[in-house]
């Protein structure tokens, strides 16, 4: 008897769990669908499990979302591609639910299944599903249908293709704005599936309808269609049909549409080509840079460098630079921040003279901006300017500003400067570094913010790597020796950290002569935190030091620490002693 009941077992449990009130149980059982399908075998999965899921009317969105996701990868469990159509009914139901994310996941899974189906099955099963959804009474079905046309269309016979184009045209004029929105956002995908001959006769009229829609949420999605269609059309058709739309959209009464144009402008320029960018799109772009809505100016400012790359330097200097100058003192800090994140990229486009004369003053004003993000964005891209104007000019004009920022009250700005120091050092060279930046690097070791002290210690290591141990011995080690006796124990900890980072770079000899004595002295500190950190540092030095030095200097210090009254100090000292023993044994 048990043998007969066994195969029924998984589906019975699933039915129980999917009807359970506890949502977590229902979710878990959906997540285990593939395991259950394997237990049932392909045929019973097709005949029992999938129909059961089609009838499952769970009202919890999380469960439905999980089901939509699972079904998208279910082809292997039902016997392969020839049975793929079996998965369509439950997904069709999920395409009509109210929750948007469930519908989107169901459409995504249908597309995934559709791309694997055989052509004849697409015609027999997938196309009718798309037509049913497109004719759905409830708007949710019609919304979902728009995302499926590009899968159904290519394999359909000509009469059905014509019907599908006509249905899509009706969806573009649907009474419900949500359906028109979906038609607008999927138009590019559908257009790429349609034959070039039908683009002008069928797709362009749909596109023009959507661009004239009275809802700005539909028009702004049509902006995306501009770039997608522009890539598919011949350049002449692009000029006739797409360009006027872009220009009118850049003056749309809704700021959200203008924002979309600013966001997509580079892609739109690519679609219409450099010639028309210069003559027709540049005035539109200048308008967007001067838009009265800050959101639009943010989007436009972020595209400044990309846009200038399409233009000749002379045009960029003449038309775009005046706008950039205005934006650098814009009333919105977010506009200035967006500009600061890309403006450095303009230097290679404009060339040396224009960068020195026109861009440098703008950089300097942004480096002094009251908003830390603006200053950060400039600092992080300094190397792009260095490549164009060279070290001397960079150091003369930007270094005073950098020194000022190194003491900025916002710790994130100080941190950004520290991270940038090794790059500056490598570009400016050792002589310049010693004069201007050496003192700063030491100052940061005693910053009140831990992240800064930590970054400063790492910075010393990177500088020692850049300029070599000899330089470090002269310029870093003496100052570290002084600072190890700082009255504040946290600062003494930072110095210990710096020593542990520097030792591998400095090598065995300098470490044992100069650094080790400092650490041994610190092992007699009155603060337990310092002492257990000394134990950790000594342990990290064992591989670097010569064997006799470990035995004569490191071990005695550790033995003393292992008898300390503090339990943590004893623990870390014994760990380090254990490491000493291991080295001895392997030697």
What average pLDDT does range 367-395 have in this prediction? 70
Q: Give Cα 585 to chain centroid, integer Å.
A: 49
Give the Cα separation of 534 and 540 in Å (integer). 10
pTM (predicted TM-score): 0.64
Q: Give Cα 479 to chain centroid, integer Å.
A: 41
Question: What is the predicted pLDDT for the residue at 508?
Answer: 77
Give the Cα separation of 401 and 366 in Å (integer). 10
Task: Give the pLDDT band (50/70/90) at residue 5.
Answer: very low
pLDDT digits (tens, 9 = 90+) for 158-212: 888 888 888 888 888 888 889 888 988 888 888 878 787 777 778 888 888 888 8
pLDDT digits (tens, 9 = 90+) for 52-91: 877 776 667 777 888 888 888 888 877 787 888 778 888 8
What average pLDDT does range 21-26 have in this prediction? 76
What average pLDDT does range 504-514 have in this prediction? 78
What average pLDDT does range 436-446 have in this prediction? 74
Is 380 a residue whose pLDDT tops 80? no
Q: Tokens 């559908």 belong to which residue?
A: 190
Q: Give Cα 8 to chain centroid, integer Å.
A: 47
If 0-12 CB within 10 Å is exposed, 13-18 middle and 19+ buried, where does residue 215 land?
middle
Quick one: tokens of 349? 């486009």
Question: What is the predicted pLDDT for the residue at 468?
Answer: 81
Choice among 67-81, 226-240, 486-500 with the minimum mean pLDDT: 226-240
**What percentage of residues in the chain have a pLDDT greater than 90?**
0
Phi, psi for 370 (deg, rounded to 5): -75, -15
Residue 561: count of CB within 10 angstroms of its CB = 23
Q: Say how many CA atoms lie within 13 Å of 64 toward its Cβ.
A: 26
Is 488 a residue whose pLDDT tops 50? yes
Identify which has the larger pLDDT, 60 or 335.
335
Domains and CATH numbers, the chain: 518-586 (1.25.10)
Give the Cα separation of 178 and 213 in Å (integer). 12
Nearest in space to 106 (alpha carbons), one of 87, 92, 123, 89: 92
Q: Say how many CA atoms lie within 13 Å of 400 toward its Cβ.
A: 7
Task: Give the pLDDT band (50/70/90) at residue 42.
Answer: confident
What average pLDDT does range 457-482 have in this prediction? 81
Residue 116: count of CB within 10 angstroms of its CB = 11
Q: At what angle do helices 333-343 and 294-301 cross, to 10 degrees?
A: 10
**Mean pLDDT over each residue of the chain, to the nearest integer:** 79
Nearest in space to 194 (alpha carbons), one of 181, 182, 207: 207
Q: Say how many CA atoms lie within 13 Å of 50 toward its Cβ.
A: 24
Is 1 a residue whose pLDDT tops 60? no
* DSSP H helical ranges for 122-176: 127-134, 139-145, 149-152, 158-172
What average pLDDT does range 3-26 have in this prediction? 64
What average pLDDT does range 317-328 have in this prediction? 83
Kindly write down the DSSP assignment for every residue of 6-30, as one continuous string: GGGHHHHHHHHHHT-S-HHHHHHHH
The terminus-to-terminus CA distance of the chain in angstroms comes to 70
Give the Cα separation of 473 and 407 in Å (integer). 26
Question: What is the predicted pLDDT for the residue at 4?
Answer: 38
Is 494 a residue whose pLDDT tops 70? yes
Is 118 a residue whose pLDDT tops 60? yes
Question: What is the predicted pLDDT for the residue at 395?
Answer: 64
Identify which has the larger pLDDT, 97 or 484.
97
Quick one: tokens of 164? 């599908």
Is 424 a residue whose pLDDT tops 60? yes
Quick one: tokens of 143? 């919304």
Rg for the chain (alpha carbons), in Å? Answer: 34
Task: Give the pLDDT band (50/70/90) at residue 479.
Answer: confident
Is 275 a residue whose pLDDT tops 60? yes
pLDDT digits (tens, 9 = 90+) for 522-546: 777 788 888 888 888 888 878 877 7
Angle at 409 between CA 406 and CA 412, to 5 degrees: 70
Question: What is the predicted pLDDT for the residue at 2?
Answer: 37
Give the Cα separation of 369 and 401 in Å (integer). 11
Considering Cα of 372, then 377, then 383, then 387, what sign does the dihedral take? Answer: negative
């Amino acid at each position: 008897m048990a043998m007969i009941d066994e195969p029924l077992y998984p589906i019975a449990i699933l039915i129980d769990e999917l009807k359970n009130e506890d949502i977590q149980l229902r979710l878990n059982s959906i997540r285990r669908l593939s395991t259950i399908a394997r237990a049932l075998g392909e045929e019973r999965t097709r005949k029992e499990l999938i129909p059961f899921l089609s009838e499952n009317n769970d009202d919890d969105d999380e469960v439905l979302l999980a089901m939509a996701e699972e079904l998208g990868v279910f082809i292997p469990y039902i016997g392969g591609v020839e049975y793929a159509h079996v998965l369509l009914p439950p997904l069709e139901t999920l395409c009509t639910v109210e929750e948007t994310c469930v519908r989107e996941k169901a459409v995504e899974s249908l597309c995934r299944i559709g791309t694997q189906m055989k052509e004849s099955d697409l015609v027999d099963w997938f196309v009718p599903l798309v037509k049913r959804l497109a004719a759905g009474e409830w708007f949710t079905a019609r919304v979902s249908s728009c995302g499926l046309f590009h899968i159904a269309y290519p394999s359909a016979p000509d009469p059905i293709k014509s019907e599908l184009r006509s249905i899509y045209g009706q969806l573009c004029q649907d009474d419900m704005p949500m359906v028109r929105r979906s038609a607008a956002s999927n138009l590019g995908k559908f257009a790429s599936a349609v034959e070039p001959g039908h683009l002008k006769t069928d797709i362009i009229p749909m596109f023009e309808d959507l661009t004239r829609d009275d809802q700005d949420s539909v028009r702004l999605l049509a902006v995306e269609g501009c770039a997608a269609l522009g890539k598919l059309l011949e350049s002449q058709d692009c000029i006739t049909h797409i360009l006027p739309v872009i220009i009118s959209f850049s003056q749309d009464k809704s700021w959200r549409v203008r924002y979309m144009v600013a966001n997509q402008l580079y892609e739109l320029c690519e679609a219409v080509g450099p010639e028309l960018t210069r003559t027709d799109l540049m005035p539109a772009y200048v308008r967007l840079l001067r838009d009265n809505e800050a959101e639009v100016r943010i989007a436009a400012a972020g595209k400044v460098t990309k846009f200038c790359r399409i233009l000749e330097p002379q045009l960029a200097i003449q038309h775009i630079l005046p706008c950039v100058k205005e934006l650098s003192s814009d009333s919105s800090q977010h506009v200035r921040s967006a500009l600061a994140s890309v403006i450095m990229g303009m230097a290679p486009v404009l060339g040396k003279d224009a960068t020195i004369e026109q861009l440098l003053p703008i950089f300097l004003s942004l480096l002094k901006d009251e908003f830390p993000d603006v200053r950060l964005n400039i600092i992080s891209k300094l190397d792009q300017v260095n490549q164009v104007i060279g070290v001397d000019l960079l150091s003369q004009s930007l270094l005073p500003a950098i020194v000022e920022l190194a003491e900025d009250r916002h710790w994130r700005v100080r941190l950004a400067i520290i991270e940038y120091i090794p790059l500056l050092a490598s570009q400016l060279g050792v002589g310049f570094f010693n004069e201007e930046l050496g003192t700063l690097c030491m100052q940061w070791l005693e910053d009140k913010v831990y992240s800064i002290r930590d970054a400063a210690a790492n910075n010393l290591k990177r500088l020692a790597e850049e300029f070599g141990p000899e330089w470090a011995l002269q310029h870093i080690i003496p100052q570290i020796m002084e600072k190890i006796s700082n009255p504040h124990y946290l600062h003494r900890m930072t110095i210990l950290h710096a020593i542990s980072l520097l030792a591998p770079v400095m090598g065995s000899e300098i470490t044992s002569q100069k650094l080790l004595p400092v650490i041994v002295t610190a092992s007699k500190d009155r603060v337990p935190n310092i002492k257990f950190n000394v134990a950790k540092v000594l342990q990290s030095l064992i591989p670097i030091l010569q064997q006799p030095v470990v035995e004569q200097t490191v071990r005695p210090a550790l033995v003393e620490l292992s008898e300390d009254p503090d339990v943590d100090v004893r623990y870390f000292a014994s760990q380090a002693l254990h490491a000493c023993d291991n080295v001895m044994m392997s030697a």
